[in-house]
Every structure is written in C-alpha cells, then in structure tokens.
C-alpha cells in the first residue's frame, strides 16, 4: 500500500476543501479544512495556456469566478487576477466577493500546507505528463493520489509517474465489481455509493478490495446518517463537502 493511504483510518477527505462552507478549491477552503484537523484534501487541477498547473474544478470560468472563457485558453496572468469567491453563495449572500480570494497554483497549495495529502482529479485531457512533471519537481510523490473520471488520463499519468498513488478509472471499477480479487494499477476505488438503482459500495466489493490491498473511498457524502452507515459497512474513506459533520461522526465512533 502506498504511503499516501497510511496516515489515518478512516480517511477524511475534504472535498475541494468544502464547496459548502467556503469558496471551493481556494486557499480559504483549504485553510478551513486544515483548521478542522484535516490531513486529506480532494482537489482538481487544470493547466493554463502558458503551462501553469492551477487548482480549479470547472472547464470554464463563469460558474465560479468573475472571469470568462475556458481555463485552458487563459494565461496564468489572467487567471490569477480573478475573484474565485465571486459566485460563492452561502445563506447570507456573497460574503467573500471582492476580498481577494484567488485561484491558486498547485505549487502554492502544497507548499502552504506541507503536512496535507492531496487527492487530485485531472480535469483536462493531455495534462497527465505535465502534472507528473510538476509532482516530481515539487517532491510530493508521497503526498498525492491522482484520479479522473477518464481512464485514459489515469493510464497516461501512471506511465509518467508509476510511483504515485492513483485511483481506478470507470472501466477498472466496472471490472472490479464482478471480481473476487480486483487487479490493475489502482491503489483505491473512489466511487459513489450507487449509480442510479445500481449499488456500487457493497460488503462484497469492500471485502474483495481488501483482499487485493486496495481501499474504497466514497463520494460525495454529506449526510451524517450515510457517513455512519458507510463506515459501519467498512469503507476506508469518506469524501465530503461537510468536513465539520464528518468530524462529528468520526469522533462519535472513537
């Protein structure tokens, strides 16, 4: 088992820091999660037009910032000036708009939080090698796990950085669901509890993954009742937008 997965059990992942409590994928959100005691943060990366690895979820800028256009079509000098809190809408309005909350570089994030493990989703085609090079340059191979909803992106990353932990792509998950001992290059299965009426996280799947020395992390779980049920079932980690509530659930099990 790769070192990334060994720092706590169950693993508490703050999903993008939190997109409920703070503007997602920002230093504000990451600091908030760290202040709650989080060692693991789930996040996302793109590569700008001028080759900077940035932390951001959406392909386009309009939904989360005051910018326009595709992330991949913009230079870092444009992206770094955007207001990453301009669309954050908690119940009392837009409290952080205009307060200097910005899109961060991956380098800034990992250097600011040197004790945090980052679960990173590759959000663009063709960036696997660039991200692998950045992971190597920053010396964070043991601090990251790479995932994607696109299997080809994960396969490309594994070829570029075989020493770094990765999660399973969709085809790997589908094969594992019918196997008594899942094989392949994934270190973890990061999955929803179900897809429509089809259950994914079952006791059989958990047992099979454990035999193969692979972990199961479930996303995105925000209800404490669901958190407790999944932990009782034996999952290894929970990915949540409510790191505060997950803390309460885990403490209640101690």
52 is catalytic: no
Contact 172, 166 (CB under 8 A): no
Any idea what DSSP says for residue 118?
E
| 97: nearest Cα among 20, 23, 155 | 23
| 188: nearest Cα among 172, 174, 171, 175 | 172
- The Cα-based distances of 101 to 44, 48, 213, 221 in angstroms read 17, 19, 40, 26
Which of 15, 46, 52, 217 is an active site residue?
Answer: 15
Contact 12, 238 (CB under 8 A): yes
Contact 20, 26 (CB under 8 A): no
Which of 7, 52, 57, 217 is an active site residue?
Answer: 57
217 is catalytic: no
How many CB atoms are closer than 10 A to CB 243? 27
Distance CA 113, CA 30 (A): 8
Residues annotated catalytic, as ranges: 15, 57
């Amino acid at each position: 088992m790769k070192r990334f997965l060994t720092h706590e059990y169950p693993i508490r992942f703050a999903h993008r820091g939190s997109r409920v409590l703070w503007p997602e994928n920002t230093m504000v959100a990451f600091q908030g999660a760290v202040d709650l005691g989080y060692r693991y943060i789930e996040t996302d990366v793109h590569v700008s037009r001028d080759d900077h690895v940035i932390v951001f979820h959406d392909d386009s800028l309009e939904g989360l910032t005051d910018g326009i256009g595709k992330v991949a079509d913009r230079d870092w000098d444009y992206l770094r000036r955007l207001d990453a809190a301009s669309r954050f809408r908690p119940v009392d309005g837009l409290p952080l708009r205009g307060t200097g909350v910005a899109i961060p570089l991956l380098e800034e994030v990992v250097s600011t939080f040197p004790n945090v493990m980052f679960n990173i989703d590759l959000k663009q085609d063709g960036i696997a090698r660039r991200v692998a090079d950045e992971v190597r340059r920053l010396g964070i191979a043991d601090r990251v796990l790479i995932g994607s909803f696109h299997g080809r992106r994960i396969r490309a990353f594994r070829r570029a950085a075989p020493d770094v932990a990765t999660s399973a792509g969709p085809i790997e998950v589908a094969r594992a669901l019918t196997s008594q001992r899942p094989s392949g290059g994934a270190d973890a299965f990061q999955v929803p509890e179900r897809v429509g009426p089809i259950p994914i996280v079952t006791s059989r799947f958990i047992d099979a993954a454990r035999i193969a020395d692979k972990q199961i992390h479930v996303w995105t779980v925000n209800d404490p009742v669901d958190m407790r049920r999944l932990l009782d079932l034996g999952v290894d980690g929970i990915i949540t937008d409510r790191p505060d509530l997950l803390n309460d659930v885990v403490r209640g099990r101690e």
